[in-house]
Structure 1
Amino acid sequence: AHGSRDPRHAATVRALVRRVRAQRPGLRVETGFLDFNSPSVPEVLESLDAEGVRDVVALPLLLTRAFHAKADIPAVLDQAPPRLRIRQAPVLGPSPLLLTALERRLYEAGLTPADKSSTGVVLASAGSTDPEAIAVIAEIAREWRHTGWCAVRPAFASASLPRTEDAVRALRAQGVRRVAVAPYVLAPGFLPDRIARGARDSGADVLAEELGPSPEVARLLIQRYTEARLPMRVAVSA
């Protein structure tokens, strides 16, 4: 996980890990943080190595493939004890399971399936300077729009525009009467709080909670683990 000075972040990550363990009894699941929290990823890897573990799947608790997935995590894994055989799983998003989790949070916040056609949604992510990550968020918003919502607009808490409050106001200007904000983030922290402030300041009607330890996210983690465990395909040309 990324890690945060906000204690809610680590608590949410650990709640998610408990749900994964409950769904896969017998599967060993350890938590490591890139920054701010302990244990760190290197500490977890060193502990596993000392216990004689040899095969490890590293699951990035990240929703998009940006700098942390492309640079930070590979750099940390490259410094792992040499006896560990490590496979880095893909990031969590995009996935239909995440869209289901987003809708779960919106319904928990008070919406119903009958509200979809009259509700515009702001898909509010943390933001990134990586063009690939920004393009993925925009594509998720387009895909989600086709499931019945009146409109879906992407927004970003940092690095990119528009901000959450600007996306809410744009939907209002478009004539959308009910606007909901769906944070596309895993755990509470500084940027999710910025998303929440933007939703409140712009008068959004509904603000969902972070994805957190939703059952869909736990299932997705197990899915990514399983994919990473599959034998690698080797292309052979005649």
Structure 2
Amino acid sequence: MQAVLYVSHGSRVKETRDEAMAFMEQVHQKVDVTLHETCFLELASPDIGEGIDSLVKQGATAIAVVPVLLLSAGHYYEDIPDEIKKSVLRYPDIRFTYGKPLGVQDRLVEILAERLQETTVERLPEAKILLVGRGGKSSEITRSVEEIAAKLAVKANVPNVEVCYLAAAAPSFDEGLQASINSGSNQIFVVPYLWFTGLLVKSMQKKINALSSDDQQVILCGYLGDHPSMVDALAERTQEALQSEQQLAW
């Protein structure tokens, strides 16, 4: 029996975990597979091994592992495959296939443009737009975020969109935000390229609240969340993983 295992990042914040679980339920409504589980990379349960165990106990003979990730980084190339490898050794008769992160997609850039509009704050001609990525050590991450920023600049009809990162890449969020403030612009829109809420979003909001003033507005836009295009994008990645002919084996 075919099954799907969605692998989300994980968080200590219950709201984030609940949000991820509810999102995956929406995705699953678009996927014609009876068995499915959501697990987490870290900071929450079940983990990948536990998710696979649960599916096997329910009768799974084939499992499509779908990373709930925006971009390809260490989690995609190392952490998730390492955990799958352990399960392959435990369940040599199970067929495992592996999906892809969402990657750079125009429809996701459309969501970012919508998030800018949803602030209901009239954007001044000189406004700065700061795109905030999660970050990672891979140059693939920074190239992707820069490509997204360039696409957003076209969509938002601005000369450029600056980028910064919350971890493991430069400039950091603090550096990017301070540079935007130092530019003297009266208005700064901070656009998080993050899937779900959590400590990162809360930390960003706290810093922005401390720096925003009557003379210089700093506005935090909404994260990607459960926008219908996000649901469609992950459902498509799930279908690709289900139809993959390449079986994972070590």
More displaced 10-residue stretch of structure 1: 148-157 or 23-32: 23-32
User: Could you give the per-residue CA deviations for residues 118-147 of structure 1, whole angstroms, max 9, x where no partner exists?
Assistant: 543211112212222122112211222122
- Measured in 1, the distance between the counterparts of 2:121 and 2:157 equals 12
SS in 1 for 2:67: coil
- In structure 1, what is the equivalent of residue 137 of structure 2? 129
Aligned residues: 231
Match of 2:175 among 166, 170, 174: 166
Structure-2 change in CA distance of 1:121 and 1:75 (3 Å): same
SS in 2 for 1:78: helix
Judge conservation of contact 1:116–1:148 (CA < 8 Å) in 2: no
More displaced 10-residue stretch of structure 1: 48-57 or 63-72: 48-57
Match of 2:240 among 216, 227, 237: 227
* Larger strand percent: 2
Report the AA paired with residue 191 of structure 1.
Answer: L
SS in 2 for 1:59: strand
- Measured in 1, the distance between the counterparts of 2:151 and 2:95 equals 37
Judge conservation of contact 1:163–1:198 (CA < 8 Å) in 2: no
Alignment gaps of 5+ in structure 1:
234-238
- In structure 1, what is the equivalent of residue 208 of structure 2? 199
- In structure 1, what is the equivalent of residue 4 of structure 2? none
SS in 1 for 2:39: coil
- In structure 1, what is the equivalent of residue 150 of structure 2? 142
Shift of 1:91: 0.8
Q: How does 1:12-23 map to 2 (within 5 A)?
A: 12-23=19-30
Report the AA paired with residue 139 of structure 2.
Answer: P
Q: TM-score, normalised by structure 1?
A: 0.84
Shift of 1:73: 0.3
Report the AA paired with residue 209 of structure 1.
Answer: G
Structure-2 change in CA distance of 1:194 and 1:128 (3 Å): farther
Q: How does 1:40-55 map to 2 (within 5 A)?
A: 40-55=47-62
- In structure 2, what is the equivalent of residue 85 of structure 1? 95
Judge conservation of contact 2:35–2:60 (CA < 8 Å) in 1: no
Match of 2:43 among 30, 36, 42: 36
- Measured in 2, the distance between the counterparts of 1:4 and 1:185 equals 13
Structure-2 change in CA distance of 1:229 and 1:193 (3 Å): same
Q: TM-score, normalised by structure 2?
A: 0.81
- Measured in 2, the distance between the counterparts of 1:51 and 1:165 equals 47
SS in 2 for 1:42: helix
Shift of 1:155: 1.0
Alignment gaps of 5+ in structure 2:
1-7
Shift of 1:171: 3.7
Q: Does 1:189 align with 2:202?
A: no
User: Could you give the per-residue CA deviations for residues 200-222 of structure 1, whole angstroms, max 9, x where no partner exists?
Assistant: 34435321222222211111101
Match of 2:75 among 42, 63, 68: 68
Judge conservation of contact 1:169–1:202 (CA < 8 Å) in 2: no
SS in 2 for 1:29: strand
Judge conservation of contact 2:64–2:97 (CA < 8 Å) in 1: yes
Match of 2:65 among 58, 67, 73: 58
